C-alpha cells in the first residue's frame, strides 16, 4: 500500500495495490503491521457500513473526550467526497480540512485520527461507505458541526439544492460553538 501524508498532520490517504485481470481484481485493504509502521499503532475494534443516495451529506461528526475515534474510511460502491476537519485547538491546522474523493474506482482510503470531525457527500447515484473505528460508539459524547459552516470554507462539489441531510445533522453547531480537543 502507498501511504500519502496530507497537508494536515496525522491524516493519510492510503492507496492499495490492486491486481486486476479479466476475472476482476484483488487487493489487500488492511494490514495491521504495515499500518503501524507507516502511520501509527491503532487498534480498530468495530467496522460500520452505510448506504446513501446522491446528494446525501453525512456529518461533520465526532465524539468528544475519552470516546473520540480514529477512523479508516473507504467506498465499496459509488463515489463520495470525504472531509476531515482538524478540531485540535493547539494544532497549526485547527479548523482546516482535508477533502479527498473516495470511490470504487480509485479504491483510496482515508485515515482520520482522533481529534477530527468527519463527513462525506455522495456524488454517485448511491454509495456504500465503510469505516473502521478504534473506539466504541457513545451517543452521550456525539457532536456535529454543520456541513455548511462558512468558517470551515469547505467547497462541497454539490449544488446546495441537491443536499439531503438528517434532522440531527441540521442541528449541528458552528466551529466557534463546537467542543474541540
Catalytic residues: 61, 131
Return d(Cα 122, Cα 56) in angstroms, integer. 6
Helices (H) and strands (E) in the chain, counts: 2, 13
SS3 content of the chain, % helix, strand, coil (to 5): 15, 45, 40
Rounded to 5 degrees, φ, ψ at 16 are -75, 155
Return d(Cα 87, Cα 17) in angstroms, integer. 31
Return d(Cα 54, Cα 131) in angstroms, integer. 19
**Residue 72 and residue 12 in contact, taking contact as beta carbons nearer than 8 Å:** no
**Phi-psi sector, 7: left (phi>0), alpha (psi -120 to 50), beta:** alpha
Amino acid at each position: 500500500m502507498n501511504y500519502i501524508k496530507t497537508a494536515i498532520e496525522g491524516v493519510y490517504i492510503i492507496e492499495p495495490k490492486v491486481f486486476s485481470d479479466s476475472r476482476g481484481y484483488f487487493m489487500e485493504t488492511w494490514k495491521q503491521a504495515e499500518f503501524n509502521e507507516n502511520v501509527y499503532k491503532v487498534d480498530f475494534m468495530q467496522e460500520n457500513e452505510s448506504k446513501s443516495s446522491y446528494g446525501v451529506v453525512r456529518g461533520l461528526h465526532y465524539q468528544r473526550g475519552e470516546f473520540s475515534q480514529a477512523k479508516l474510511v473507504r467506498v465499496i460502491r459509488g463515489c463520495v467526497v470525504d472531509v476531515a476537519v482538524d478540531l485540535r485547538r493547539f494544532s497549526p491546522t485547527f479548523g482546516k480540512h482535508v477533502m479527498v474523493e473516495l470511490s470504487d474506482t480509485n479504491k483510496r482510503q482515508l485515515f482520520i485520527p482522533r481529534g477530527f470531525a468527519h463527513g462525506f457527500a455522495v456524488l454517485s447515484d448511491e454509495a456504500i461507505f465503510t469505516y473502521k473505528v478504534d473506539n466504541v460508539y457513545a451517543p452521550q459524547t456525539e457532536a456535529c458541526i454543520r456541513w455548511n459552516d462558512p468558517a470551515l470554507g469547505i467547497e462541497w462539489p454539490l449544488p446546495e439544492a441537491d443536499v439531503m441531510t438528517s434532522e440531527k445533522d441540521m442541528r449541528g453547531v458552528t466551529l466557534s460553538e463546537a467542543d474541540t480537543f
